Structure 1
Amino acid sequence: MTSENSTLADFGWNNFFASQVELGETGVPVRVMAVHRDRLHVAGPAIDTLIQPFVETPDDEEAFATVGDWLLLDAQTARPRRLLRRRSLFKRRAAGTGRKLQLIAANVDTLFIVSSCNQDFNPARLERFLALAKEAEVTPVVVLTKADMADNAGDFVRDAGKLLPGLLVEAVDARDAESVACLTPWCARGQTVALLGSSGVGKSTLVNTLTGERLETQGIREDDAKGRHTTTGRALHRLPAGGWLMDTPGMRELQLTDVGSGLDEVFADVVSLARNCRFSDCQHETEPGCAIQAAIGSGEIEAARIKRWRKLAAEEAFNSESLAERHARARAFGKMARSAMAEKRARRGE
């Protein structure tokens, strides 16, 4: 949508972003629709183009633009001036053993967490995505696809709903427009929805049905009921109801980073129990007076949920500490380099 009749509000612009534009500033607001290797696809009223990326601080990975961001372009050169502050940001540690931070999406209002009513349904994976959503203060909605192929779709809905009090869960046939109509309240004008889920759960099919576009899809493998991964990049798709939908590649290795409060909210029942342990440094294993072990023994909470909590909490703490240390080193190096340059200029009499 880039016609003269469109407005910034059609692209998701609101008072939060408008308040960041200084009085008399002549920059042109545009939204990042897609990120390519060396170009950003941006759009707004009467503009739809590719531009070069821009960062103010190369050492700060969060200064890079990602899908959903808002930029101010120079009115004359169409070069980006600055990146506007985000309402929400999804990020992760990139796959592999490195510590590079990868930005997933920005300025999302609702997160559709997509799983399916078959062997792919995985509570631990759903909890990872829920922690991301809660940390970013984005509304999560679990969307269970392939409900038409399951004899017990209701069981999957109940199991998902147990993961978080008040969690919204919808079971759909991703190929049927009438079935997915239950998702339209989150797809209204100016709203941005993101999809997250593992490969093959039907995200591309769901995008096709919601948008009317035809993205490539693949069938289900017979050996494990999993689909084949088709989406290869993140991009915003226009929705008939006026909103925007952001598809994402399947994430087989989603490493949690800086989502401590999100985990605490997803596992609020466990955190509450831990406060009642006799010892403040309780490891919740064999210590006397452990409230969590007592709750497991009484059937108040499942041992499997405690195991998932411990695993995710340890992973998040490790990744966040590693990133903090790396950022500290980068800042120290930058300070040293600036000091050296200042001394060099002083010797030259500059």
Structure 2
Amino acid sequence: MTTVASHLVPRRKKSLWRRLPVVHQLRQSVGLQRGMLITGLVITGAFVLTAAFAPLLAPYGFSQLRAGGVAFGSQRPPSVEHLLGTSVGGYDVLSRVLWGAQTALFVIVVAVILSIFAGVALGLVSGYFGGWLDRVLVVVCDAVYAFPSLLLAIVMSIVISGGRANLVGGILAAAISITVVFIPQYFRVIRAETVRIKAEAYVESARVLGASNSRIMFRHVLRNATRTLPLIFTLNSSEAILTLAGLGFLGFGIEPTSAAEWGYDLNKALSDVTSGIWWTSLFPGLAIVLVVLGITLMGESLNDLADPRLRGRRAVAQASGTVAETSVVPGGTLEAGPGGLAGLQDGETFDEHGIEVTS
């Protein structure tokens, strides 16, 4: 009995490890799809680690202008003291890029969490109860979704923070403006799934047994309607970074003395490009491109793996090849054409066209 239990525990741990979200999708992926997923995971993981350990990785503070009583100087080229040079404002470019990852991660987390809670709640109520409430919510969400996202973010930033803000105010302004844009996306997905699930037999059975609407919604419908949310989360995270960078580039972002932000640094580096000073704009722009690319690759790969039609193409091809090579003849593997049936009947032979040859 002890021996059996000792064999079951590792197997259970192994199965639980394989069922983890990222590990499960990684095992399903093949070929180019796996390469895209691994690349996205590596870039996104590096971004998250950089944001988490920015205070330890950055050589200077995001608003630091001098060290040891000596000013950094503006537009200094890359050197030993400043590996990526200094900006027009006299900030260390490397430090600003590393601290900017932390600001971007804060905005992603706050914006997506707020939009998920609001979008899921509205979609669940609208899809389950229907009626006039459903029609009103659908019209409002379609109107918001049709509104230009960056323009809406600018308006919300001005309303919340007056166009300029400190770290908390700037993050909330950007996050709330992004939240308003993302809510219709989560609302549409959850509403469509709720409308489909509430017609299932187990929901009807729960209603016949006397279960309340709240119990059916949160115990039976919500659990099955939120399976695609991680996919939308990854795809919307890259859009959140672009919206934050757009706000900073247009001058509606966070003050440089409150936090580092890549869009603001790009805005201040516009005049440097025509003067041949490339390092002030290259590295913030490269950070935006890499992070958006990594998150997009991961999101698109997960989206493909969630679609059985796209996920199963390689498996079907491999299975068909295996079946074609499988022996179905007692004498050996089936050869091309009916001639492979020669061993089925004693004394009878067939040519390559399947015609019996008589001796």
Give the TM-score category using the shorter length.
under 0.3
Higher relative contact order (Cα pairs below 8 Å, separated by 6+ residues): 2
Considering fraction of residues, name the structure with more strand. 1
Q: TM-score, normalised by structure 1?
A: 0.25
Considering fraction of residues, name the structure with more helix. 2
Q: TM-score, normalised by structure 2?
A: 0.25
